[in-house]
Chains A and B, each alone.
Chain A
């Protein structure tokens, strides 16, 4: 039926579906009118009134019959058929509950996996910030600089200029993650929060449920206005939901803050993965950032900015304007902004948080769940095929008594729809249960509450519905295809007798099994490759000791230490620790390798190195105390370690790594040469071996170290080389700390190996998810193979009996069935291997030091597949081997 025809007929069809009585009423009226006119005409021809009436009635025929005929003629039939099919489909469903349960379970798993991944993508990548308005127009803004592949933070003055000049932006705001020690009563805990611009809550459309948000004046000053908005969780858990909370004081980083607002439930801030617990305005930046007053410093790049562009403005247009603004800034402030631009990032690419680390995994997952869905569909298709063979009789009878083939296909599609709709409902439920599953796969860290929700919204539901329709078509058409060569007479005769391995009708079922094996082989290869990569990553030498080094921290800032006090405290603590039994050495460092947060970076200059015009050499570095290298086991190749003599009064010194020597000194010995750090010249005193700094997957890169004393920070980590178990070390350490300061607490204490594991958790997530789904696929494929072989054996008992009667032993029959099963498997593996060779490259970023064509991986996937195939065939084969020739031959 064409579109035009629907245009005319749809309103009528709907009317006859929903207003049948009105339609019937009109028909009756129409017929009465006809009669009246006929009677009048008859009278005009000279009949008596009675005669005229009788004649007219006879001419028209039975009113009831006409009504029924008219009802039949109406298109409402389409819907009535559908309802009838649905009714019939439900009866079918309950007639074979085992079949229905298996089919629905397969579809639930297949569709559920898809819905879960959709919901994760929606919740983590596309709408990552619950309760935040208009996220589709929200973009992160990062700085760009030559030599920086990722986005850099912005400076506050640059942000202010951006906000003032961006005409295409509806709102722009700042949200910079920070941490604090929160003590309420005698209970201390770390808490994660954000430093935000004063317009933050207005810009994201979140209204505090108690109190109010920040005032514009909170954007200026130096620690001028200590106010805080706390999260709903913090309010409920730590303040026991105190309704009088507004106006009360709470210490953050040892500074009393006035609580001015409580954020609504279900708002977690704007940092993917972590739930924020408090928000403070930028004027308090010094209290939380602790490296000086930065609100007027264009060189201090520390903020993470967002813009919401106006409706109807494209990303490209906004980028153009932002680029123009940053070009303006470059010419106005060449000293600080030369070569620096600004870039819009989609929320899922935000350079500042966890979204990016899960992106490659989720991308791969989309393909993986599509495979699982296809395998599930093939399984259900196979089940339906078996059933359609059973139902051939029914179908033939229906054809024989006059059903059109189209009508049968409609019936089968309706049954398919019923199955997939139930599967989809189950699938969405699965996705709902799994919405927080990702958090379970990521390691817990103290003081941070992870929040990586799946979001089941309209878009996810729409996608799931689309999947449902697709599945309906697939599982409905497979048996419908089978009715193609259904003739009326054939099935009414007796069931034909099959032969193991016979072609003909079974080709479609075998094809489906080959398809399933093929897809699950690809998934197996993918899972094995990821597993291998994870193994390689975790066992790669990071260039420092992992199991024998423990790292922790002390909240010196929160405890109120000033710089000189902290220096004295740290020296004394190191002295005490070095004489503890079981402790080999201990050292402070500003940053822990592979930790969250980024190393400081600085433009450098090197005597004798001439950078090209465009290049502004920038290198990251760490501030470390004496014996840091010995403690972490990083070899010092030439020269010396830092000593206590390298303090704030001594000449500036630095230790560079090997890659830096190769890059900037062309491999010559740099000892005694000069290196400019943050505009001051330091002398190189040693060369350290390369190690991993931010990621286990990084390639060697230039890096250097300066003495902690020459660029001191209150937030350094304490590294201890020891062979003692964590618990006893912690006790010993606490004793020493309390000997110096009875009020100090300790942060979480972990080994560097744990740190390595945490930094590789995105890989772990990928491996776990792909393995679970790969296993599921394998199971489904095994069930499919089992089904096909069981059916083949059941259909060919006569042949098997004959073979046995002619002298074949049980072992022969066993071999016959298994070899047939293996032939199907081999076909699937062959196609799977070819596809896998092409597809595994897509794993790209997730692979580490493993060739996507690794022969060992393909070999072990083959072994697993073969094992599964043999186990799937064993039961049917065993049944075949137990054929009793006499009975079978007698029966036939």
Chain B
């Protein structure tokens, strides 16, 4: 599976879960939100979004449902499952731990 090269493995999963934790969304809305909050830094192409969503769904972390959107179009909406919420909590804690450690190291002044 091709991934954005500079995205740490698992990070995209966490971002998607986090986005869906706020509210259920369809694929397009997710892609817009991703661009918006990460200011395009992460460079997640629309193409790599769907395989990632499908993987999360098959892990049981999110689920999908066909629903009508406000302008009366059928779209597939993704939402977080109980299991996904738990996983997100774990991953977030993990991320915080690791990123604190890494940024601590990065900030070390060279002697």
User: Which residues of A line the B interface, CB within 8 A?
Assistant: 4-9, 12-13, 16, 26-27, 29-31, 33-34, 36-38, 41, 59-62, 65-66, 69-70, 72-75
List of 10 A-B pairs having minimum Cβ-Cβ separation, nearest first? A8-B60, A61-B47, A69-B51, A73-B55, A37-B28, A75-B58, A9-B60, A5-B60, A70-B54, A73-B51
B46–chain A nearest beta-carbon distance, Å: 5
A34-B28, A70-B54 known; 8 new pairs, CB 8 Å cut-off, are A5-B83, A8-B81, A30-B50, A36-B73, A38-B46, A69-B1, A69-B47, A69-B48
Q: Contacts of A38 on B, CB cut-off 8 Å?
A: 28, 46
Which of B27, B47, B63, B83 meets A65, CB within 8 Å?
A: B47
Name the residue on B nearest A33 (C-beta): B75
Interface residue? B109 (CB, 8 A) = no
Q: Is the CB of A33 within 8 A of B46?
A: no
Q: Is the CB of A9 within 8 A of B58?
A: yes
Q: Contacts of B82 on A, CB cut-off 8 Å?
A: 4
Q: Contacts of B55 on A, CB cut-off 8 Å?
A: 73-74
Q: How far is the CA of A59 from the CA of B47 in the complex (A)?
A: 7
Q: How far is the CA of A9 from the CA of B55 in the complex (A)?
A: 10
Q: Is the CB of B45 within 8 A of A9?
A: no
Q: How far is the CA of A73 from the CA of B48 in the complex (A)?
A: 11
Contact with A along B53-73 (1 / 0, CB 8 A): 011011111010000000001
A-B contact pairs, 14 of them (CB 8 A): A4-B83, A8-B61, A8-B83, A12-B58, A29-B74, A33-B28, A33-B75, A37-B26, A41-B32, A60-B45, A66-B50, A69-B1, A70-B54, A75-B58
Interface residue? B2 (CB, 8 A) = yes
B82–chain A nearest beta-carbon distance, Å: 8
Name the residue on A nearest B28 (C-beta): A37
Q: Contacts of B50 on A, CB cut-off 8 Å?
A: 27, 30-31, 66, 69-70
Interface residue? B19 (CB, 8 A) = no
Using known A-B contacts A5-B60, A30-B76, A73-B52, determine if residue A61 contacts B45 with beta carbons closer than 8 Å: yes
Q: Contacts of A29 on B, CB cut-off 8 Å?
A: 74, 76
Q: Contacts of A34 on B, CB cut-off 8 Å?
A: 26-28, 31, 46
Using known A-B contacts A4-B83, A61-B45, A66-B51, determine if residue A74 contacts B58 with beta carbons closer than 8 Å: yes
A579–chain B nearest beta-carbon distance, Å: 97
Q: How far is the CA of A693 from the CA of B26 in the complex (A)?
A: 89
Q: How far is the CA of A119 from the CA of B64 in the complex (A)?
A: 50
Interface size class of B (residues with CB under 8 A): 20 to 34
Which of A7, A16, A70, A74 meets B60, CB within 8 Å?
A: A7
Q: Is the CB of A73 within 8 A of B45?
A: no
User: Which residues of B line the A interface, CB within 8 A?
Assistant: 1-2, 26-28, 31-32, 45-48, 50-52, 54-55, 57-61, 63, 73-76, 81-83
Q: Is the CB of A9 within 8 A of B59?
A: yes
A5–chain B nearest beta-carbon distance, Å: 4
Q: Is the CB of A13 within 8 A of B58?
A: yes
Q: Contacts of B52 on A, CB cut-off 8 Å?
A: 73
Q: Contacts of A30 on B, CB cut-off 8 Å?
A: 27, 50, 75-76
Using known A-B contacts A8-B60, A33-B76, determine if residue A72 contacts B28 with beta carbons closer than 8 Å: no
Name the residue on B nearest A59 (C-beta): B46
Q: How far is the CA of A85 from the CA of B31 in the complex (A)?
A: 38
Name the residue on B nearest A57 (C-beta): B46
Q: How far is the CA of A59 from the CA of B82 in the complex (A)?
A: 32
Q: Contacts of A69 on B, CB cut-off 8 Å?
A: 1-2, 47-48, 50-51
Q: How far is the CA of A830 from the CA of B45 in the complex (A)?
A: 69
* Of B1, B54, B73, B74, most A-chain CB atoms within 10 Å: B54
Which of B45, B58, B76 meets A59, CB within 8 Å?
A: B45
Q: Contacts of B74 on A, CB cut-off 8 Å?
A: 29, 33
Name the residue on A nearest B55 (C-beta): A73
Q: Contacts of A59 on B, CB cut-off 8 Å?
A: 45-46
Chain A contact residues: over half helix, strand or loop, or mixed?
A: helix
Q: Is the CB of B57 within 8 A of A12?
A: yes
Name the residue on B nearest A75 (C-beta): B58
Q: How far is the CA of A61 from the CA of B2 in the complex (A)?
A: 12
Q: Is the CB of A61 within 8 A of B46?
A: yes
Name the residue on B nearest A37 (C-beta): B28
Using known A-B contacts A34-B31, A34-B46, A61-B45, determine if residue A72 contacts B59 with beta carbons closer than 8 Å: no
Name the residue on B nearest A74 (C-beta): B58
Name the residue on B nearest A30 (C-beta): B76
* Of B32, B45, B60, B81, most A-chain CB atoms within 10 Å: B60
B33–chain A nearest beta-carbon distance, Å: 13
Q: Contacts of B59 on A, CB cut-off 8 Å?
A: 5, 9, 75
Q: Contacts of A70 on B, CB cut-off 8 Å?
A: 50-51, 54
A80–chain B nearest beta-carbon distance, Å: 13
Q: How far is the CA of A782 from the CA of B61 in the complex (A)?
A: 55
Q: How far is the CA of A684 from the CA of B57 in the complex (A)?
A: 94
Q: How far is the CA of A72 from the CA of B48 in the complex (A)?
A: 12
Q: Contacts of B2 on A, CB cut-off 8 Å?
A: 69
Q: Contacts of A4 on B, CB cut-off 8 Å?
A: 60, 82-83
Q: How far is the CA of A30 from the CA of B26 in the complex (A)?
A: 9
Q: Contacts of B28 on A, CB cut-off 8 Å?
A: 33-34, 37-38
Name the residue on B nearest A7 (C-beta): B60
Which of A13, A27, A66, A75 meets B47, CB within 8 Å?
A: A66
Q: Is the CB of B46 within 8 A of A72?
A: no
B53–chain A nearest beta-carbon distance, Å: 8
* Of A59, A60, A62, most B-chain CB atoms within 10 Å: A60
Name the residue on A nearest B75 (C-beta): A33
Q: How far is the CA of A12 from the CA of B62 in the complex (A)?
A: 12
Q: How far is the CA of A658 from the CA of B20 in the complex (A)?
A: 95
Name the residue on A nearest B60 (C-beta): A8
Q: Contacts of A73 on B, CB cut-off 8 Å?
A: 1, 51-52, 54-55, 58
Q: How far is the CA of A30 from the CA of B74 in the complex (A)?
A: 9
Q: How far is the CA of A370 from the CA of B45 in the complex (A)?
A: 60
Q: Contacts of A72 on B, CB cut-off 8 Å?
A: 1, 51
Q: How far is the CA of A9 from the CA of B81 in the complex (A)?
A: 11
Q: How far is the CA of A9 from the CA of B57 in the complex (A)?
A: 7
Q: How far is the CA of A26 from the CA of B50 in the complex (A)?
A: 12
Q: Is the CB of B47 within 8 A of A62?
A: yes
Q: How far is the CA of A62 from the CA of B48 in the complex (A)?
A: 10
Q: How far is the CA of A133 from the CA of B74 in the complex (A)?
A: 58
A492–chain B nearest beta-carbon distance, Å: 29
Q: How far is the CA of A73 from the CA of B13 in the complex (A)?
A: 13
Q: Contacts of A26 on B, CB cut-off 8 Å?
A: 76
Q: Contacts of B83 on A, CB cut-off 8 Å?
A: 4-5, 8
Q: How far is the CA of A36 from the CA of B45 in the complex (A)?
A: 17
Name the residue on A nearest B2 (C-beta): A69
Name the residue on B nearest A73 (C-beta): B55
Q: Contacts of A5 on B, CB cut-off 8 Å?
A: 59-60, 83
Q: How far is the CA of A144 from the CA of B91 in the complex (A)?
A: 71
Q: How far is the CA of A569 from the CA of B53 in the complex (A)?
A: 100
Q: Is the CB of B73 within 8 A of A33?
A: yes
Q: How far is the CA of A12 from the CA of B61 in the complex (A)?
A: 12
Q: How far is the CA of A26 from the CA of B27 in the complex (A)?
A: 13
Q: How far is the CA of A75 from the CA of B74 in the complex (A)?
A: 26
Q: Contacts of B47 on A, CB cut-off 8 Å?
A: 60-62, 65-66, 69
Q: Contacts of A9 on B, CB cut-off 8 Å?
A: 58-60
B43–chain A nearest beta-carbon distance, Å: 12
Q: How far is the CA of A62 from the CA of B73 in the complex (A)?
A: 24
Q: How far is the CA of A565 from the CA of B106 in the complex (A)?
A: 121
Q: How far is the CA of A60 from the CA of B52 in the complex (A)?
A: 14
Q: How far is the CA of A7 from the CA of B26 in the complex (A)?
A: 23
B78–chain A nearest beta-carbon distance, Å: 10
Name the residue on B nearest A76 (C-beta): B58
Q: Contacts of A62 on B, CB cut-off 8 Å?
A: 47
B30–chain A nearest beta-carbon distance, Å: 10
Q: How far is the CA of A6 from the CA of B51 in the complex (A)?
A: 20
Name the residue on B nearest A31 (C-beta): B50
Q: Is the CB of A60 within 8 A of B46?
A: yes
Q: Contacts of B27 on A, CB cut-off 8 Å?
A: 30, 33-34
Q: Contacts of B57 on A, CB cut-off 8 Å?
A: 12
Name the residue on B nearest A8 (C-beta): B60
Q: How far is the CA of A4 from the CA of B81 in the complex (A)?
A: 11
Q: Contacts of A36 on B, CB cut-off 8 Å?
A: 73
